[in-house]
Amino acid sequence: MSKIDPLALAGAKSKGKRPYFLETDVERLTNIVLVLAQELAVVRERTDTLERLLEQSGVLTRQEIETFTPTKQQADERGAWTQEYLARVFRILQQEREALQTQEASSEEVADELAKV
């Protein structure tokens, strides 16, 4: 094995204090979103390669993809996947809504309570 670990070193900081142009948290999030946008473009390009290769080898045409219409059953399955996906993405908001309905103690408070003899 190489002694150079790409996972640790690829994203190394360059020497020199980094400037921030936005509120620090906003700039952090911007950097994260940029890389997600990059990876989405990477997946999109890979899908495009796949479609073109499948078309070249006669498996399907891209026109078939463009004009694909799901059956009721297929559409329901896809809709369900999207609902599940959104529920995962926005979990934090769901839980904040639930929290509005109750008055709860924190773990620290519960710990203190449980330590009472």
Partner 1 sequence: MSSLVSDKPKAEPARAYDGPPDYRVVGQHGMYPLLSHDEISRFNFLAQMNRHLSTQIMPGVKEAFDARVEPKFVAANGRGFKDRHEVRKALLKDSLFQWWSALRRATMETRQQAGRWVTLRQADQLNAKAKALTENDERLKLNPELPLPRYVEAIDHHCMPGSYHTELAEGDVTGPCNYDIGIFATTGGMLGRYNDGGGQAIAAWVKETLPDLKPKRILDIGAGLGHNVLPIAQAFPDAEVVAIDVGAPMLRYGLARAKTMGVDNISFVQGDVSDLSDLADESFDMIHSCMFLHETSYASMPKIFAETHRLLKPGGIVFHVEQPQYTPEMPLFEQAMRDWDAFYNNEPFWTKMHEVDLDSWMVSAGFERDKLMHSGVAAVVDPDVFPQAAQDTKQEDYGRKAAWHVVGAVK
| By CB under 8 A, residue 22 contacts partner 1 | yes
Q: How far apart are CA 115 and CA 112, in angstroms?
A: 5
Q: Are 49 and 41 in contact (CB under 8 A)?
A: no
Nearest-approach distance from CB 61 to partner 1, in angstroms: 9
Residues contacting residue 49 through CB under 8 Å, at least 6 positions apart: none
Long-range contacts, 24-30 (Cβ 8 Å, 24+):
none
Nearest-approach distance from CB 10 to partner 1, in angstroms: 4
Site string for partner 1, 48-67 (x = CB under 8 A): -x-------------x--xx
Which residues are at the interface with partner 1 (CB under 8 A)? 2-6, 9-16, 18-22, 27, 30-31, 34-35, 37-38, 41-42, 45-46, 49, 63, 66-67, 69
